[in-house]
Amino acid sequence: MNACRRVAVVSTLTVLVLGAGTPVAGAQDRAGEPPPTLAAPLAWAACGLSEEAVGVECATADLPMDYDEPGGERVQVAVARIPAADPAKRIGSLFFNFGGPGGPAVDYLQAAGAGVFASLNQRFDIVGFDPRGVGQSTPAIDCQVDQETQGIYSVPVPTPLDIDVDAYLAKVQGYVDACLANNGEILEHVSTANVARDMDVLRAALGEERLNYIGFSYGTFLGATYASLFPDRYRAMVLDGALDADEYINDPFSSIATQTAALETALARFTEACAVDQVACSGFGGADPYLAYDQLLAAAETAPIQADAYTPDPRPVTADDIRTVTVPLLYSKQSWGLLGLLLAEAAAGEGSTIRAVLDQFVYTDDPGADLYFTIGASEQRYPQGDLDVYLDRGAESWASFPHFWSNSGYAEIAYALWPAHDEDAFAGPFDVPETSPTPLVIGTTYDPATPYSGAVRLVADLGNARLLTMEGDGHTAYGGNSACIDAAAGTYLIDGLLPAEGTVCQQEVPFVAGEPVPVEASTATQRLGRPIGR
């Protein structure tokens, strides 16, 4: 799923120069890459954009595009930090990644300050960076297409009953060609392993012998990659909303199918909650909201739901639109009430708010979907050349996943056509020696984007790892879902103490009704609990 959106751009950034100079001690990774060198320390400048972000500092790191050619082309990686609030008790730097692939971090710190990491900011400098190709880092990837009609998840969504194979392949090829034409060499150097190498250079530039890290969703893949390449270069690592690292990169067909099944389960969980609490669900569906959801889709297939003629975009809402808006709202239990409200409005024949949310949150000119695709395609080991395999997967997905088949199968054809692969990608083994600190892996039992099974399997793959479970719904657990989760993660990061094996925490987020929202898109969008990426 797409990562968080950008909110601002800051131009007052300073530069870290890499090239000639002192080698970064211990930067040699297990993949055998040569260590980069530093010529100057990071220079910081104030860059906060809100009252909450007073104290945020930004810099730019000038890094090799290709670590095999450190004297060649460069990338400029945007970095931001908030110094520890209690310098006398400072432990070190805490890096974070919100997922994606392609999720930025600098804009978040500039807008929100320490935000969800406020308690940890007492003891840690909070450090975020926009991975190469992303956000304020340059060059930044942007395929410059209309995501609604040309992107990887564009509409209308084909089925085996109506797909025009030649037309669909031409559409997908057009998207791939646009990505190649509007971006350059960076497309061959955006693998997670190169981001991990960048993070290790930043660690050294900050003067840290070992970094601390908290990664969410795809950010757990970055963390697992870093721990595997640099097992003696981290002090503590939290991987929340963990995915199966080996499956993600080596068997992406299975990985995305497992995710799609989890989305179907999340819809069933939401509709079950609606049946129990009709007030929270704004009366949608009565005694059988699951059936009502299917009936709403069927009705919208026959006659799209009208939006108010006075809205910025009065186009009617289709069944594809309803399915599309459902997915991000399933990512967060805090958003279930809003989803119920939107569905109740649609069932009553009013599509204005759904249209507004789609236009401002999903079908935008933000390149988040481009980043998700191009970064994943650069390293994931999809079958190449045999399009029949993908067409068969599309038919299988439609038969297996009645609501969200568009997430897998046909949408993956672009990966078969993608030619820009990163030769320095790391595909495992993902393991952590017993001599390294034990990562804390957090899984949510009904996570719709990174299913709980992925967390269990990541723990098994890493070997030296501890599983912490949250029984609940939504994507990722840390940061206000469960006091038990937040306390366990905080104790681990600050004191190095792992929760007991088998610890299970309960989610504490109630299902409450969504409040009526104006039809203006900007207002509607502010009410979304924007999901962390995959």
Query: How far does Cα 188 stand from its chain's mean position?
Result: 20
| Segment 188-234, tens digit of pLDDT | 999 999 999 999 999 999 999 999 999 999 999 999 999 999 999 99
**What is the mean predicted confidence (pLDDT) over 401-428?**
96
Q: How far apart are CA 294 and CA 319, in angstroms?
A: 10
Contacts of 35 (CB under 8 A, 6+ apart): 23, 24, 26, 27, 28
A 10 A CB-CB count for 410 gives 25
A 10 A CB-CB count for 265 gives 16
The percent of residues above 90 in pLDDT, for the chain, comes to: 84
- Asked if residue 444 has pLDDT above 60, the reply is yes
pLDDT of residue 516: 63
Q: How far apart are CA 306 and CA 324, in angstroms?
A: 17
- Asked if residue 311 has pLDDT above 80, the reply is no
Mean pLDDT of the chain: 90
Nearest alpha-carbon partner for 417 in 73, 180, 219, 232: 180
Q: 349's torsion region: left (phi>0), alpha (psi -120 to 50) or beta?
A: left
Q: How far apart are CA 410 and CA 402, in angstroms?
A: 14
- Asked if residue 3 has pLDDT above 80, the reply is no
Nearest alpha-carbon partner for 29 in 157, 165, 150, 193: 193
Would you list the domain boundaries of the chain? 83-94+138-534
Q: pLDDT tier at 24 (50, 70, 90 boundaries)?
A: very low
Q: How far apart are CA 326 and CA 324, in angstroms?
A: 5
Q: How far apart are CA 394 and CA 404, in angstroms?
A: 11
- Asked if residue 533 has pLDDT above 50, the reply is no
- CA angle (105, 511, 289) in 5-degree steps: 110
| Segment 266-283, tens digit of pLDDT | 999 999 999 999 999 999
Q: 217's torsion region: left (phi>0), alpha (psi -120 to 50) or beta?
A: left
- Asked if residue 37 has pLDDT above 60, the reply is no
pLDDT of residue 99: 97
Nearest alpha-carbon partner for 64 in 24, 94, 10, 100: 24
| Segment 41-74, tens digit of pLDDT | 788 999 999 999 999 999 999 999 999 998 899 9
| Segment 88-121, tens digit of pLDDT | 999 999 999 999 999 999 999 999 999 999 999 9
Residue 210 amino acid letter: R
Task: Answer whether 263's CB lies under 8 Å from 407's CB.
Answer: yes
Task: Answer whether 59's CB lies under 8 Å from 14's CB.
Answer: yes
- Asked if residue 18 has pLDDT above 50, the reply is no
Where are the strands (E) in 366-493, listed by range? 440-446, 466-473
Q: How far apart are CA 204 and CA 175, in angstroms?
A: 39
**Helix 336-347 vs helix 319-330: crossing angle, to nearest 10:** 160
Nearest alpha-carbon partner for 153 in 140, 139, 143: 143
**What token pair was written down for 192?**
């997670």
